[in-house]
Each structure stands twice: as C-alpha cells, then as structure tokens.
Structure 1
Amino acid sequence: MEDFLSDDQLRKQIRHAKRIVVKFGSSAVSKPAGGVDRVRIDHYVEALEKRMARGGDVTVVSSGAVATGFGSLGFRQRPQELAAKQASAAVGQVQLAAQWAESFGRFDRTTAQLLLTASDAGSRERTRNAQRTIERLRSMQAVPIVNENDTVATSEMRFGDNDRLAAIVAHLIAADALILLSDVDGLYDRNPSDPTARFISEVRTGHDLDGVVAGGGGALGTGGMAAKVSAARLAARGGVPVLLTSSENVERALEDASVGTVFHPRPDKRLSAWKFWALYAADAEGVLRIDLGAMTAVTSGGSSLLPVGVTDVDGEFHAGDIVEIIGPNGESIGRGEVGYDSRVLRSMLGKRSDDLPEDLRRPVIHADYLSNWASRL
C-alpha cells in the first residue's frame, strides 16, 4: 500500500508551499451581466498579497475573458456562437488584464499577461518558451496572469474553463501546490444543493471518487466540477498537491488550507517536466501498436521499446515526434518520443536489432523518452 500523507499533513504542505498556482473561475472575476467584478478582484489580490508577504510565490490563472467582455458588445448573455465568443474574449481580456494590473498596482506589484491555447501546450518549443517567460517574470518579482487565448481557440482545441491549463502551468513551473477556486466550497458526492450530499475532504486515488456525480459548468463558465476534478487529478498525477474550494474561501485557502477538498499527489517520484508534457499536453502525431511482450517490458521493466515488439504503425510522423502507444488489446499504454520516421519504422516491424543494419539498432523509443499510464493510475 502506498504511503500517502494524512489529510492534515497535506494541508500543512499546501499551507507552507512557496511556489503556488491559484486559478480563478469565470464567475469569480466577472459580473452576471458582464464586466469585471472589481471589488472581488481587489479582495483576491489582498489575499494573494498576504500570501506573498509570507514568502509565497504566486502565478495566477484567470478565466473570465468571454464572461467579462460580452456585455460591452451588447450581448444580454454569454454568447454561444464561436465568433461572438471570440469577439467577447478580445474585449474581456483587455478589461481583465487592466483590472488585475490595477489591483496588484496598489501594492507596487507588476503584472504580466500570458495567453495560451491548447495547441501552444501541444508544442514542446512553445511550451518551453512559455516556461522561460514565466520563470523570468517571477525572477523579476512580476506576477504572471495566465489565461486561455479564447480569441483564437476553437471548441475542439480548448483547455475547458482553464482548469486543465492551471494543472499544466503548475507542473510547467514545478509548483509546490495548486489552488483551484470555483463557486463551490469543495467536492461533494452529488449536487451540494441536495441535503443528502456528502462532502469529500480528500482524494487519494480514483477509488475515493467511486459514486461521485460531478456536474457541468454554470451560466458563465465552461468547466464545472467534473473539469475541476479532472484537472486536480491531472496535477496530482504529476506530483502537485491540489486544494479545491470556492473563491469566497480564498483567504483561508491561502492562509492555512483549512477549507475545501485536497487531492494527494502520488508518493512516488514526481514526473519530469518532459514526461508530464508528453503524457498530458503534447500532440500525438501517430500511433505504435505493440505486442504483449513489449507492453510488459515498457510498463513493468522500465525498458526501451524495440522494433521486435512493434506490430503496426499508424499515421505519418518524423523522428522526434510524440506518438501514442497501443497494446495488443487496443489499450492505451502511454506515449513517447519516437526515434524514427514512420516510413523507416514500417520496414523494421517485428525485427530483432541483430537483424537490422547498424544505423537502425537504436530503440524505437528510448526508456528516458517513454512515459506510460500504468505508473500514474
């Protein structure tokens, strides 16, 4: 049995975390009829400033561009048509950035806005650029304000209500904790308006979620509790402890982590930045199908994937691309950085290294560049 921390121990760890990511949902920063909720953002910044005064290092992930901007364009409610949402986001991003800057400016804090899309996260080069930018801003005592670039993102290429984005950013900067703030004070096994709903204080594994029914987003948001739970588990799989609570609890969440639901990271070694990116953010350019022996080797033995274990290749890709690995029964095994072009690899299927030319005897995917799902369940 894995040696997880106790609930109190994990909350203490979050309480003393130095490098934290704090995510605010759409309803937390905008008004129902559109526009920035200046009073609440000022309140959040005061709580964040107190945490930073204790030595904390904060990166903010802020939703709300569409929810903030639609009223200024004359819409009576959040639009559903893509172009209208993108237009609303273009207006709202300016308003949000200005308000975060004004609120932090009261404490002589400089803010910077970073707009990302899922395709940015899928590119290793752009991910590294974002990582370097955030690190440089933090080193200069500026507060990064990260948001999804809704002006160009499509419905097929979105992070959700920034919950998944927050999890990816948390791992990207090697955060010590992620705090997800929504409009619910924590996780319940059903709608919290139901008087029989049971509050869930901590989540260690997926078994703690058995029987939990999580709903979708509200009128202003797009994520909902299901998206937040998914993002929390994603961050935890990568080694980042998570606190999920409401934006109304922001002070207690940042001060002593005594509220909400905590998600435990796995006690084993934290995933490297590359392996986390390959598993959860990268765009897969193709598929490798492998036999039972190869599946056992890469999931249990920590071995490289060799040509003899590959049974089929789907898609067209180049050496250095990320590919999906599928087992003999169609199960997803993991992902890795492939060492050969798809055309070359097709000529190597099922062959032992000794039967190949000297220049084709390296692994299809080296163990250092292979990450499997089995170790993260």
Structure 2
Amino acid sequence: MGEARRIVVKVGSSSLTTAAGGLDADRVDALVDVLAKHRNETVARTASVEGGGGRRAGAGEREIVLVSSGAIAAGLAPLGLRRRPKDLARQQAAASVGQGLLVARYTASFARYGVRVGQVLLTSDDMSRRAHHRNASRTLDKLLAMGAFPVVNENDTVATDEIRFGDNDRLAALVAHLVHADLLVLLSDVDGVYDGDPSRPGTSRIAEVRGPADLSGVDIGSAGKAGVGTGGMVTKVEAARIAAAAGIPVVLTSAVHAAEALGGGDTGTYFHPSGKRSADRLLWLQHASTPQGSLTLDDGAVRAVVERRTSLLPAGIAAVEGEFSAGDPVELRDGTGRAVARGLVNFDAKEIPQLIGRSTRELARELGPAYEREVVHRDDLVLLHR
C-alpha cells in the first residue's frame, strides 16, 4: 500500500459534516492535511533523488484523486433543512447549494499547501458513452499531470434517477479503474469490516479479505451513524469487491486513520485484488448501469453471445421490451427470461421490431446502409454471471 503511485481516496458525508448538516471545517482541514502531506512528501523524495528542485514527475511520485461525498449534506443547513430530504427535487437543490460550498472549502484548505483544486462532476453517462468516457479520463490525467488535485463527485444536481444509496462508493470504484489507480482507499466513520456489530464486545476487525468466502456469514450492517449520507458498510464492501475484481487493492477504514492507510500501516480491512482489469466502460456497465429495456434472444444468439463472445445481430432477436434510445444499456435475455448479458444498444426501441429476425444485408437493402450493423457490438457488451 505504501508503494502505490496513484491512489483514489473516497470520503463519506459523515466524515465531513455535522449530524445537523453543514460542513465541519476542522474535519475537512484534517483530511486535507493528510492528503497534502502524503502527496508532498512523495514529490519531495522524487525531486531529491533526481537532484533537481521543484515538482518533477518520476517513478516514485504519488498522485491522489479524491472522490468526495457531502454536497447534499453541506446544503441542508443553508437551505433551512433539518434532515436529508427524501424527494429528488429538494435533494438536487441541496446538492446545488452544497457542491459550491464543498469545493470552496476544499479549495481554501488545499491553498494552505499551495495546491490548486480541480472539480470534476461525473454522471453515469460519463462512464459509459465513449466520448464522455474519454473526456473524463483525459481531464483527470491532465489535472494530475499539471499538479492540480482532482476532487470528484457525482453530479447530483442533474441526476435523472433518484439519488441512490451508496452511489459515491460505486463511483469511487469506477473512478479508480478509470484512472488506473494502484490503490483505492474508502474512508467512513467505521475503521473496517467487523465480524459483528463493532459497538458490541467480542467482535473483531477482519484484517484481510481475499474473496467472498472470507465474508461468508458476516452481517455487514447498514447505514453509518451520522445520518447525513446515504452510504453504509454494505455499499462500501460492494465497491471494494468491484475494485478488487478489476485488479485494484482496497483499504476500507475510518477517516481518522487516513494517514495510516496512505502510509501502508495496519489499519482497516484490506481487500486483495481478485481479478484482472477490463475496459472501464464494461465495469460500469456490469456494476453501475440501470437497464432501460431488454432484448430476448433465440437459442442460437444466446450461444453466440455467451460462448463465442460475438456481437448481437438483428437475426438473433426474438422480442423487445422497454423504452430506450440508442446508446442506452439493455439486458440480453434467453428464452426463459434470464439475463445473460448487458450491453449498449445501437438502435432506439421503436426501431427494433422491424429488425427482429432479419439479416443485416437484407436490412441494408431495404432500409439503408445505417442498418447494416450490430444491435449490440461485442465491445459494448458484458456477460452476467448469475
């Protein structure tokens, strides 16, 4: 952990705000103190070894990206809200006010170390659509290359679906994969995963997780203690599993132990990498997308997609359900209704019925060359293991 060059750190609302809502400046400053120290210490060692002065890129330089919750919680008190609202409109309003306060607080705090902050607000589209995905990746890489400190959050003010339980935990896992991080650190108000309720005597911290079997029978628990965020241990463990399955080690601990986590100390719960990296968009597609409809495949198409990993052609479709547009995620189902894959569709739902069961050559002759293509390309498709 101490040798990780590029690290994504995620901090939850409860670690930054008061239970009544509003940012806790001391908590923000304490976190920034840790992040700036570890960032600057690594840069100083690199510059000294190379014999030069100032900031210089090198093999030992550490880069940190912060995924920060807290926008909605920060906007509660300024808007006179006593608790987190349940309706989407007021959540969006709170996020709109709070996001400005959050990034302003980070900007002022990092300025004490001469570090400039860059705000990056992401939506699910930014993780799935090719152009958005490339732009997000380039922006984060360039901010790091120019010495800025990226602070990432979900763009809650324009969320079209209800802001869901634990979104930023999943977002952190996806961002870690997006920036090719060497380590993901998830910070909350609990210092790791326990084999029971950590407030009760006799429970112990689970130091390492190598696979699902290590958490078998463990009651992960629910939301955090502060009550201002949406995440809990369940979403953090799920985010850790997503990152670990993508080849990224994870440390899950409390914000007060952030320095130990970044320094490679024995703290929290360490999730060993359990898989290899895949395309970033496919990771989002499998773990964070919401299907907008479904396509039922005939038996031959199921075998082609699942066993031979081919694209889905119109000839293999038996039925279509839902209302979706080109570029939306859809489920691919077999004849029993079981979802076998998920992919980004190339046609609107209303176009699919005229394509069902027909060859691309036939469609091109009748409808034009734009229809001589896959309904779901294999590069935009992920298998679901259920």
The TM-score normalised by the length of structure 2 is 0.81
Is the Cα contact below 8 Å between 1:24 and 1:247 reproduced in 2?
Answer: yes
Shift of 1:103: 1.7
1:326 counterpart residue number: 333
Instruction: Describe the superposition over 1:234-274 as per-residue Cα deviations: whole angstroms up to 9, x where unpaired.
Output: 2223332221111111011000152111223333x311123
Give the C-alpha shift of residue 58 in structure 1.
0.7
Q: Percent identity?
A: 47
**Alpha-carbon separation, structure 2, partners of 1:149 and 1:346:** 35
| Kept in 2: contact 1:189–1:200 (CA 8 A) | yes
1:266 matched to 2:274? The reply is yes
- Aligned partner of 2:244 among 236, 260, 264: 236
Question: What do residues 66-116 of structure 1 show as CA deviations (whole Å, max 9, x unaligned)?
Answer: 323323344444444544444433333232212211221121110022233
- The structure-2 alpha-carbon separation of the partners of 1:278 and 1:81, relative to structure 1 and needing over 3 Å to count, comes to closer
When residues 18 and 82 of structure 1 are mapped into structure 2, their CA distance, relative to the original with a 3 A threshold, is same
Amino acid at match of 1:66: I
Q: Which residue of 1 aligns with 2:321?
A: 314
In the TM superposition, residue 147 of structure 1 has moved relative to its aligned partner by 1.9
Aligned counterpart, 1:160: 166
Instruction: Please tell me whether residue 142 in structure 1 is matched to residue 152 in structure 2.
Output: no
Assess if the C-alpha contact under 8 Å between 1:289 and 1:311 holds in 2.
yes
Q: Number of paired residues?
A: 361
Q: Is the 8 A contact 1:238 1:271 kept in 2?
A: yes
Against the structure 1 CA distance between its residues 88 and 295, is the aligned structure 2 distance closer, same or farther, given a 3 Å change threshold?
same
SS in 2 for 1:324: strand
Provide the residue aligned with 1:223 in structure 2.
231
Which amino acid in 2 is paired with 1:156?
A: E
Deviation, structure 1 residue 326: 1.5
Q: Which moved more, 1:339-348 or 1:134-143?
A: 339-348
User: 1:28 aligned to 2:15?
Assistant: yes
Code of the aligned partner of 1:44: L
Partner of 1:373: 384
**Cα separation, partners in 2 of 1:208 and 1:293, compared to 1, 3 Å:** farther
Q: Deviations over 1:334-353 (max 9, x none)?
A: 22234555566434544677
Name 1:8's counterpart in structure 2.
none
Is the aligned partner of 1:70 residue 2:57?
no
Which amino acid is the alignment partner of residue 257 of structure 2? N
Match of 2:184 among 178, 192, 197: 178
Following superposition, the deviation at residue 57 of structure 1 comes to: 0.6
Q: Residue 102 of structure 1 aligns with which residue? A: 108
Match of 2:136 in 1: 130
1:179-198 superposed matches below 5 A: 179-198=185-204
Secondary structure of the corresponding residue to residue 95 of structure 1? helix
Q: Deviations over 1:338-369 (max 9, x none)?
A: 45555664345446779877767754434333
Once residues 42 and 197 of structure 1 are traced to their aligned partners in structure 2, the CA distance between those partners, rounded to angstroms, is 32
Contact 1:42–1:103 (CA under 8 A) maintained in structure 2: yes
**Partner amino acid for 2:296?**
R
In structure 2, the partner of 1:336 is: 343
CA distance in structure 2 between the partners assigned to 1:88 and 1:210 by the alignment? 38
**Secondary structure of the equivalent of 1:162?**
helix
Return the match for 2:219 from 194, 213, 216.
213
Structure 1 residue 161 displacement after superposition: 5.4
Q: Any stretches of 5+ residues in structure 1 without a counterpart?
A: 1-13
* Counterpart selection for 2:36 from 38, 49, 63: 49
Deviation at 1:317, TM superposition (A): 4.9
Provide the residue aligned with 1:288 in structure 2. Answer: 295
Match of 2:4 among 17, 20, 23: 17
1:278 has 2:278 as partner: no
In structure 2, the residue matched to 1:297 is: 304
Give the CA deviation at 1:292: 4.1
Counterpart in the other structure of 2:53: none
Distance 1:297 1:208, change over 3 A: farther
Residue aligned with 2:156, SS? coil
Q: Is the 8 A contact 2:129 2:327 kept in 1?
A: no
Per mean C-alpha deviation after superposition, the further-off stretch among 97-106 and 211-220 is 211-220
Seen in structure 2, the aligned counterparts of structure 1 residues 366 and 72 have a Cα distance that, compared at 3 Å, is closer
1:40 aligns with 2:2: no
Which stretch shows the higher mean deviation, 174-183 or 333-342? 333-342
User: Which amino acid in 1 is paired with 2:343?
Assistant: G
